[in-house]
Chain A
Amino acid sequence: MFRKILIANRGEIAVRVIRAAKELGIKTISIHSEADEECLHTKISDQDICIGPALSKDSYLNIFAIISAAEIAGADAIHPGYGFLAENPKFSSICKDHKITFIGPSAEVIELLGNKDKARKTMRSVGVPVTPGTDVIEKVEEAIEFAKEVGYPVIVKAVAGGGGKGMRVAWSEDELKNIIPIAQGEAKAAFGNPDVYVEKYLENPRHIEIQFLADEYGNVVHLGERDCSIQRRHQKLLEEAPSPALTPEIREAMGEAVRKGVSKVGYVGAGTMEFLFENGKFYFMEVNTRIQVEHPVTEMITSVDIVKEQILVAMGERLSFKQEDVKFNGHAIECRINAEDPFKNFMPTPGKIEEYRTPGGPGIRIDSHVYAGYEVPKYYDSLIAKLIAWGRNRDEAIARMKRALQEYKIVGVKTTIPFFEKLLEHPDIIKGNYSTKFLENFSIEK
């Protein structure tokens, strides 16, 4: 049993981990930067240590300071939360060097899954579907051959590229013939490497991810999916479980693929495998080797406390349940309440929360670190609360979310609440008919 866990994070996820640890009877140590003295996580832990100045690089990303804090406080484990050092293999291995348990997978596993190319190849080797693609294109004919096989559109990508650079979509054979030399030239100019490859292009995919938990005895369970297609510039805003698009058969197939992939790499802990989903087919994207922001929607429909299980398996315990014990009950939706102005291009709005009144009643859960009088610092991400609504079915969950958004009163900083109020009126959202492209054509700005 751990005696003391240090939470190497801030805000709502630090609060979430402290709550789980307390329920397990484990003492908690929170850390904070000089800008975070008033953050709720510092007030509900057993101990609290200031580790550095406001800037993340000097505090929440400062491995040296965090390990020293763990040492003086006598922590036997560190929970990294999400973001910051959560997927840093060096941090995981330094914890190990200092005989502190890192609550997450080993450095080797984080490293393997953090490398997109290696992760894809590993998953493909155990039969997890990945987006069909070619190796480096030597002759244009290879690309044409491939496109004939998988169908148009296809996307030409630079091997050395990233962040959307060096990508071009081809909708026909003629277009593909033209694009390849252009893409090669662009790749050479931008990255110094002209190599390109071709992949099947998904026009309107959904972002669907599977939550899993694995212990060190080889037991792997999946907890079903979350649909996170509602994204703005790759930032998820609304998540729900189950996905309106999945059939029980596809869920089963995705879950089994995940269990195989996770077993293959010897993963221990909680994690998420992300997929693109279109026309009944799913394609592996990546594995997030940490707890995720949107984990509560899964907790609401499975009654599994993912953070507690994560701590327990890190302690070397067996998972407390088997795959056949996992039952899905009802529907859950999460809205990320950010201190951002949805009428001004989601500009962050740090500042003091003058008035704060939370919704309640059946099926409502709030994970947050703010309160009346709290000042949202400008240094960190703008998430101030996660509002989660559960219902016996999707309609009830939506109805509860809508009335909870109405009840929620935050004065002093602008938030994304009005954005969700409008979003939940949209007929395609009500029908569950949306893809990752949805927000490209939706705005509440006048």
Chain B
Amino acid sequence: MVSIEEIKKIYKIFDSENISEVELRNDNTAIRMKIAKKAPEVKIATPQIQPVNVSEQNQTPKQTEPSIYEVKSKWIGYFTRINPKTGENYVKLRDVVKEGDIIGHVSVLGVLQDVKVEKGGKIKEILVEEGLAVEYGQPLMRIETNSK
């Protein structure tokens, strides 16, 4: 089940960027939220919470097949998810991020380089432990984008 808190969080995404639709999937839950573009007031178009239906997946494989995007390091250095301003992690597993979000830093010779997400989605896997060294092109996180 998806909690109200999580729905609220997702809802916030609509505020900032021009995203009109978000679909999320858990092991046994799916949620899709739609928003009318340039609507003066944000409306949640009947949030559907329903168990994943296998037969339905088969009918529309392209829409429901999750697509995985890997956030890769563009630098050689030490990976951190901690926001130095707040002392807290930018993101955690299952958080939803959008394009351009900072999800961590690579510390290159002591200088923090921003790791930004190029495609939005839900963080499915965090591949590098806090503080470990990474090379160029190394996958840092896997994000489920649900895009076609």
Chain A residues proximal to chain B, CB less than 8 Å = 34, 49-53, 59, 64-65, 67-69, 71-73, 98
Contact = CB atoms under 8 A, between A and B. Distances in A.
A424 B135 CA distance: 46
A46 to B, nearest CB: 15
A425 to B, nearest CB: 48
Contacts of A71: 77, 109
A65 B137 contact: no
Interface string B102-122: 000000110000000000000
A50 B77 contact: no
B75 A50 contact: no
B interface: dominant SS: loop
B147 interface: no
Given A64-B108, A64-B109, A67-B109, A72 B138 contact: no
Given A65-B75, A67-B109, A72 B136 contact: no
Given A64-B109, A67-B109, A71-B109, A51 B78 contact: no
Contacts of A67: 109
B109 A49 contact: no
A68 B138 contact: no
Interface string B128-144: 00000101111000000
21 contacts: A34-B136, A49-B76, A50-B135, A50-B136, A51-B76, A51-B135, A51-B136, A59-B136, A64-B108, A67-B109, A68-B75, A68-B76, A68-B77, A69-B76, A71-B109, A72-B76, A72-B77, A72-B78, A72-B135, A73-B133, A98-B109
Nearest to B74: A52
A68 B137 contact: no
A36 to B, nearest CB: 12
Contacts of A51: 76, 135-136
A409 to B, nearest CB: 35
Interface of B: 75-78, 108-109, 133, 135-138
A65 B138 CA distance: 14
A129 B132 CA distance: 56
A98 B108 CA distance: 13
Contacts, number: 37
A50 B77 CA distance: 11
Given A49-B76, A72-B76, 9 more contacts: A53-B136, A64-B108, A64-B109, A65-B76, A68-B76, A68-B108, A71-B109, A72-B78, A98-B109
Ranked 8 nearest A-B pairs via Cβ: A72-B133, A68-B76, A50-B135, A50-B136, A49-B135, A69-B76, A68-B108, A52-B136
Nearest to B73: A50
A50 B137 CA distance: 7
B126 to A, nearest CB: 19
Contacts of A59: 136
Contacts of A50: 135-138
A50 B138 CA distance: 8
Nearest to B138: A50
A64 B108 CA distance: 9
B10 to A, nearest CB: 35
Contacts of A65: 75-76, 136
A52 B108 CA distance: 14
A98 B75 CA distance: 18
A430 B135 CA distance: 51
B131 to A, nearest CB: 11
Nearest to B108: A68
Contacts of B77: 68, 71-72
A72 B78 CA distance: 8
Contacts of A69: 76, 135
